[in-house]
Each structure stands twice: as C-alpha cells, then as structure tokens.
Structure 1
Amino acid sequence: MADPTWPGERLVTAAQRGDVDAIGALVSGSYPNVRRFARSLCATPEDAEDAAQEALIILYRKIGMLRASGALASWMFRIVRNECLRRARTVLRNDAPPPGGAVRSAEDEALERLDAGRVAAAVAALPADQRRVLIMRDIQGHSGRMVAEALGLSTPAMKSRLHRARRAVRLAVQAVPDSAFGGDAGENAC
C-alpha cells in the first residue's frame, strides 16, 4: 500500500501526461512532505524553506522524467537532499556567517553538513521497503501502527524493517572514518 500522505499514483500519472490541474495538485499535495524532508536535512530553517521551494519547482518542471509514479517520495527526497547539499557547499564557499547571532567555526558547520549528507545518502541507498518505513516513522514522525497499516504490514514486520533500516544507516554513516574529513575536530583547537 502506498504512503497516504503523498499524492496518489493517479494524480502523478495525470501530471506526467501534462494535466495542468494535476500538476498543481501534485505540487501543493507534496509540499508538506518536501518541507519536512528539507527541515531534517538542511542546516538552517531558511535553507530548508528555500530547498523545499526549489524542489517543488523541479517537481513542476520535470514530473515527466519520473520513471515510476509510485517513486515520488524517494525522487523528491533525492532532490531535496541534493538541494540541501548544494546550499551547504555554497555557504562554505562564501564563508557567510549563519543568521541568528552565534558564529560557529567553518569546520563545525562543514562537519555537520557532511554528517547530514552521509545520512541522506545512506537513507537513499536503502532498499525501497526499508526506506519507506524509515521515512514514514523517523522523518515524517508517524506512529508505528499507522506506518504498519499504511504499508500493509504487521507491527512486528514494520518494526523489523525499521530496525534493519536504522542499522544500515548507522553502519553506512560510521563506515566513513573521521580522518577522511581532516581528522579529529579538536586536534587543531586553539
């Protein structure tokens, strides 16, 4: 069973065929999920809002490129992830201080964004059944029972997939040694 919080496959198919009303409904129906993805991946609320809007523009322009109408959530997750990473790289290149007062070191910000990027890549690499459970439960915040019902699983089966997904993400994130990113962040502290 598909995730009920995303627009249905019929709407996606109609949008892919160029139905203007379907495209509008698809973009507005996807917004809450895209925004949630962006808030979990981007460094600042402003970047998250900008990334969500950019992702929806890409959805609007390129819906015809989506191969499977049931893959909307994973496609949008990749678009949002890429947009958040692009924004992080832009901030690092411009050395702009973050809005809101306290200035963190560039190294701390880079490490935080690298971690977010590694998590996003690990989630995107999961098998579809595990990725759906992880996204619905941990990113979208749905209850275990709701996730199990939406996916047509028993609660124990949903918990098993969620456990495997979390473990795979944890192992993928831990597989990249800190030394690959310049060593311990505290080594060169003044």
Structure 2
Amino acid sequence: MPPTELIASARNGDAAAITSLLAVAQPDIRRYARATCRTADVDDAVQDALCLLHRHIGSLRAISAFSGWLFAVVRRECLRLARRGFGQAAPLEELGEQAEIAVRPDHELRLDLAAAIQSLPAHYREALVLRDLEELTIDEIAARLETTRETVKARLRRARTLAREYLAR
C-alpha cells in the first residue's frame, strides 16, 4: 500500500500526489478485482475504482482507513458490474466442462455423484449427506454431530468444493 504521506498529500488536493497514488494503488486494485470480480469485469472494475479514487480521495476521513476504503470501492464496483450482467447469457467458452456434464445420461451422473460423495473424508461426507440428502438444517446437523454451526458450514463448503473438483476431472 502507498505511504501515508502520499495519501495525505493526495487527500489535500495535490495533483501530483493524486497521480502518484493512482499509479501506486493500481496493482493492488487489480489484484483485489481479480479475486472479487468475474474475469470479464476486472478491467472495468479497476477503471471505475481508479476514477472514484481520483474523485473522492478528498473525502477520506482517516489516512489509516485508505486500504479498507479502497477495497470497499472495488467490491462495490464488482457487485455493480455483476448486477448489470445478471440475466445475460454467459459465453459458451465460460461454460466449458459444465456443458459436457449437462449432456451426460442421468445414470452416469448419479454414479459419478455417488463416487464423488464416497471419495470425501468421513466428516465432510457426513455433513453433506445430512444437509443435501436428508435435508436437515444447519442447527440440526450441528446438534447431531455435537459441533458448532460454523464448523458445519465450513465442512459443507469444503465438501461441496471437493465434490465439484472430483466431478470436474
């Protein structure tokens, strides 16, 4: 992140400091946009965030809040761009292997799904089966497994990720 003196000068309206701040902050903005936005929206989010930084740096209350403020701007831009694209058809290139899965016969999909679930470690498999097959709530699963809600949510998230990776092979 940029030094506090640069942020302070930019906040006070120094044009050269604003230009330098934009140049210094751009790689961080791009990195965060790549992690937050859809691939197609990264460049737009970076450009919009840089424009907002240029226009609103003077409204920054605390210099120490710069990085949090900047990342909030990027996150909002990514959400705005995602909402704008909501409901539009995705290009076929982005669908990739999902299209291959969609045309497979149901019996093959069932076998693959059963194999994916069976490949999970027991604690992940148990949480996934209780939630997605037995349709228990998070609280019911936590009570049955004698663990916390957070643990159940983490196990479900990890189990679904592992199953998705297994099916993508």
Distance (whole Å) between structure 2 residues aligned to residue 16 and residue 35 of structure 1: 21
| Identity over aligned pairs, percent | 42
Distance (whole Å) between structure 1 residues aligned to residue 92 and residue 25 of structure 2: 28
* 1:100 to 2:96 alignment: no
Distance (whole Å) between structure 1 residues aligned to residue 26 and residue 92 of structure 2: 24
Distance (whole Å) between structure 1 residues aligned to residue 66 and residue 52 of structure 2: 12
Distance (whole Å) between structure 1 residues aligned to residue 2 and residue 27 of structure 2: 11
Aligned position for 2:70: 76
| Secondary structure class of the residue paired with 2:38 | coil
Distance (whole Å) between structure 2 residues aligned to residue 40 and residue 23 of structure 1: 25
**Deviation at residue 23 of structure 1 after TM alignment:** 0.2
| Secondary structure class of the residue paired with 2:86 | helix
**Deviation at residue 49 of structure 1 after TM alignment:** 1.5
Mapping of residues 75-154 of structure 1, within 5 Å:
75-93=69-87, 95-98=88-91, 100-102=93-95
**In the TM superposition, what whole-angstrom CA distance separates every residue of 1:96-117 from its partner, at most 9, and x where no partner exists?**
3247353769xxxxxxxxxxxx
Structure-2 change in CA distance of 1:66 and 1:98 (3 Å): farther
Distance (whole Å) between structure 1 residues aligned to residue 56 and residue 28 of structure 2: 18
* 1:56 to 2:50 alignment: yes
**In the TM superposition, what whole-angstrom CA distance separates every residue of 1:2-48 from its partner, at most 9, and x where no partner exists?**
xxxx111111110111100000000110001000000000121x311
| Secondary structure class of the residue paired with 1:72 | helix
Comparing both structures, which one devotes a greater share of its residues to helix? 2
Aligned position for 1:18: 13
Higher relative contact order (CA 8 A, sep 6+): 1
**In the TM superposition, what whole-angstrom CA distance separates every residue of 1:132-173 from its partner, at most 9, and x where no partner exists?**
xxxxxxxxxxxxxxxxxxxxxxxxxxxxxxxxxxxxxxx5xx
Aligned position for 2:61: 67
CA RMSD of aligned residues (A): 2.6
Aligned position for 2:116: none
Q: Which sections of structure 2, spanning at least 5 residues, go unmatched? A: 100-149, 155-169
Residue 13 of structure 1 aligns to which amino acid in structure 2? A
Structure-2 change in CA distance of 1:70 and 1:98 (3 Å): farther
* 1:30 to 2:51 alignment: no
Aligned position for 1:135: none
TM-score, with length taken from structure 2: 0.55
Mapping of residues 159-170 of structure 1, within 5 Å:
none
Residue 100 of structure 1 aligns to which amino acid in structure 2? E
Structure-2 change in CA distance of 1:92 and 1:22 (3 Å): same
**Deviation at residue 71 of structure 1 after TM alignment:** 1.3
Q: Which sections of structure 1, spanning at least 5 residues, go unmatched? A: 1-5, 106-170, 176-190
